[in-house]
Amino acid sequence: MLSNVRIGVVGCGYWGPNLIRNFQALTDCQVTVISDVDPARLKHLHGLYRNVEMTTDYRQLVEREDVDAVVVATPVAWHHRIAKSSLLAGKHTFVEKPVGTSSADCIELAEISERNGCVLMAGYTFLYSPAIAKIKQIIDAGDLGEIRYIAARRLNLGLFQRDINVTWDLAPHDLSIILHVMGEYPVSLNCRGSANVTPGIEDVASLNLTFSRQRSAIVHNSWLDPRKTREMTIVGSRRMIVYDDVAVAEKIRVFDARVDHPPHYDTFAEFHYAYHYGDVYAPYIKQEEPLKLECQHFLDCIRMGVQPMTDAHLASGMLRLLEASTVSLRAEGAPVFFDSNAAGAGAGLRVGAKERNGKAHARGGNGTIHLTGRSTLPMAVQSRTTVPE
Ligand SMILES: NC(=O)c1ccc[n+]([C@@H]2O[C@H](COP(=O)([O-])OP(=O)(O)OC[C@H]3O[C@@H](n4cnc5c(N)ncnc54)[C@H](O)[C@@H]3O)[C@@H](O)[C@H]2O)c1
């Protein structure tokens, strides 16, 4: 068992320094080396962490003897390449969300990690958040009744990404929470959006997901909104939760509100919906930084040799959703259907009408799209995310 996990962090832009700070604060773990292609970022970090070595070449970092685990927080287009070389070098690997630009790449990483006995973990931070744990606890206790739908809004002004659209950037958080709460993979999704600032890269987009038992979710993401908004409403048959992650206090409020149908009526005059308004309460949530819990979980998984909660299986399922969102966007919002086991790594896939030109999607006669094949999807996002040598 590793008593002191030595970590190398690749990518020190906006998010990487948060990972470095958290790993440095944990016991029995130490950041030994940091890599970024931008020397100015390394100079800045050298000012903060004098004892940590710096390199502009991630390949040097992954090969080092004094690195047990590699943390990847670069732009998404680099995730697969860096994670692959890290896993091939036998290092435990943490990759920020989304784990790459295709589910097929993610499945390849999963296979290498298994072969080399390395932990592969995806950075779906919200699943480590005490607020989400509380929401899940309330739902599992049955307090909400049957979940009917979830509406999520994640909006702000920027930060504009150059290699992915707003859905790939912001929706992974919402999707991870929604799947966690729903407890299942969706049946289908569709996505619409618009590119207002950078041609070809959607900065405003809405996703609609359908689940079994007529349950649904709506996710609205934008880089073109004046206010930073992180809101989610979970509507149950008995109660409703409003989760506001930007709120300093009372991030979660539970509304004892519902609408009941009359059990029986004979004439229209007798028909009335029964609106129930009860108490609103804000449950106690332990104040802990989700990223700290996430970093600790990575270390625990390395020490105990167990699968992380946010493993490659979850990461490839998330990528399937993002791939489907791009297919739907390009098809002007046409729905994309998943097979029941599409969430899994190496997903078994419902073969659509036919494969066209070796491409991995097919449009059904009714204008719908069925994800097919295990290959990467022919999305515009891929042509934008070609990684230079
Ligand atoms: N989990 C979360 O809550 C959360 C929050 C924000 C961002 N993220 C994720 O973190 C990742 C990084 O996002 P960001 O906002 O920090 O991006 P960023 O553009 O601010 O930073 C990326 C850094 O990587 C460096 N870089 C690029 N290519 C490199 C390479 N080949 N080798 C070494 N360094 C390289 C860049 O110079 C830059 O400093 C993304 O995957 C993003 O989705 C996660």
- Residue of the CA atom closest to atom 30 of ligand 1: 37
pLDDT tens per residue, range 215-272? 999 999 999 999 999 999 999 999 999 999 999 999 999 999 998 877 777 777 767 7
From 10, 14, 385, the mutation candidate for ligand 1 (largest count of ligand atoms within 8 A of CB) is: 14
pLDDT range class, residue 340, cuts 50, 70, 90 = low
Residue 72 CA to ligand 1 centre (angstroms) = 8
From 18, 35, 36, 58, the mutation candidate for ligand 1 (largest count of ligand atoms within 8 A of CB) is: 36
Tell me the sheet residues that pair with 94: 71, 121
Tell me the sheet residues that pair with 259: 275
Q: Which pairing describes strands 336-337 and 361-363: parallel, antiparallel, or unpaired?
A: unpaired
- Residue of the CA atom closest to atom 15 of ligand 1: 14
- Confidence at residue 187, expressed as pLDDT on a 0 to 100 scale: 96
Pairwise pLDDT comparison (336 vs 268), residue with the higher score? 336
Residue 389 CA to ligand 1 centre (angstroms) = 18
- Confidence at residue 273, expressed as pLDDT on a 0 to 100 scale: 81
- Confidence at residue 65, expressed as pLDDT on a 0 to 100 scale: 97
- E strand segments, the chain: 5-10, 29-35, 53-55, 69-72, 92-96, 120-123, 147-157, 188-194, 204-210, 216-222, 224-236, 240-244, 252-260, 274-281, 336-337, 361-363, 369-371
Q: Which two tokens stand for residue 345?
A: 């790594």
Q: Report the distance separating Cα 317 and Cα 328, nearest Å.
A: 17
Other CB atoms within a 10 A radius of the CB of residue 212 amount to 11
Q: Taking every pair of C-alpha atoms in the chain, what is the biggest distance, in angstroms?
A: 79
Mean pLDDT value across the chain? 88
Atom of ligand 1 nearest to the CA of 15: 16
Atom of ligand 1 nearest to the CA of 124: 1
Q: Which pairing describes strands 369-371 and 361-363: parallel, antiparallel, or unpaired?
A: antiparallel
Domains with residue ranges and CATH for the chain = 5-124+290-309 (3.40.50.720), 127-281 (3.30.360.10), 316-384 (no CATH)
- The CA distances from residue 136 to 126, 181, 254, 371, in Å, are 12, 6, 13, 30
CA dihedral angle for residue 219, residue 225, residue 230, residue 232, rounded to 10 degrees = -40
Q: Report the distance separating Cα 381 and Cα 209, nearest Å.
A: 21
- Residue of the CA atom closest to atom 25 of ligand 1: 11
pLDDT tens per residue, range 177-190? 999 999 999 999 99
pLDDT surpassing 50 at residue 364: no
Find the range with the poorest average confidence among 48-52, 83-87, 243-247, 266-270: 266-270
